[in-house]
């Protein structure tokens, strides 16, 4: 899957992965995709809840041996095609 920015939150515990994702998404354009890497076991609950509450779309979750990778599409109006 393609993404626009990546945030490595490996080693961070709740609520830091979500707080850092929120900050990064604020700086991104609507419709852009953030790839979030997290090792916190609570991220599997926190990230989908964050997306639902903030209006972002959780596109996919990849399960790895050491980490989970979340793909989040920033909510809001997508840029108009040129």
Active site residues: 14
**Beta strands at 57-63 and 5-9: parallel, antiparallel or unpaired:** unpaired
Q: How many residues does the chain have?
A: 82
Strand boundaries in 1-82, DSSP class E: 5-9, 33-38, 57-63, 68-73
Q: Find residue 61's DSSP bridge partners.
A: 70
What is the token pair recorded at 10?
């490996």
| Separation of alpha carbons 17 and 82, rounded Å | 34
């Amino acid at each position: 899957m393609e993404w626009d920015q990546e945030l490595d939150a490996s080693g961070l515990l709740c609520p830091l992965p979500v707080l850092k994702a929120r900050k990064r998404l604020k700086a991104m354009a609507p419709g852009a995709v953030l790839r979030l890497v997290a090792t916190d076991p609570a991220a599997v609950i926190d990230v989908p809840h964050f997306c639902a509450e903030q209006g972002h779309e959780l596109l996919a979750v990849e399960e790895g041996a050491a980490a989970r990778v979340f793909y989040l599409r920033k909510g809001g109006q997508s840029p108009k095609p040129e």
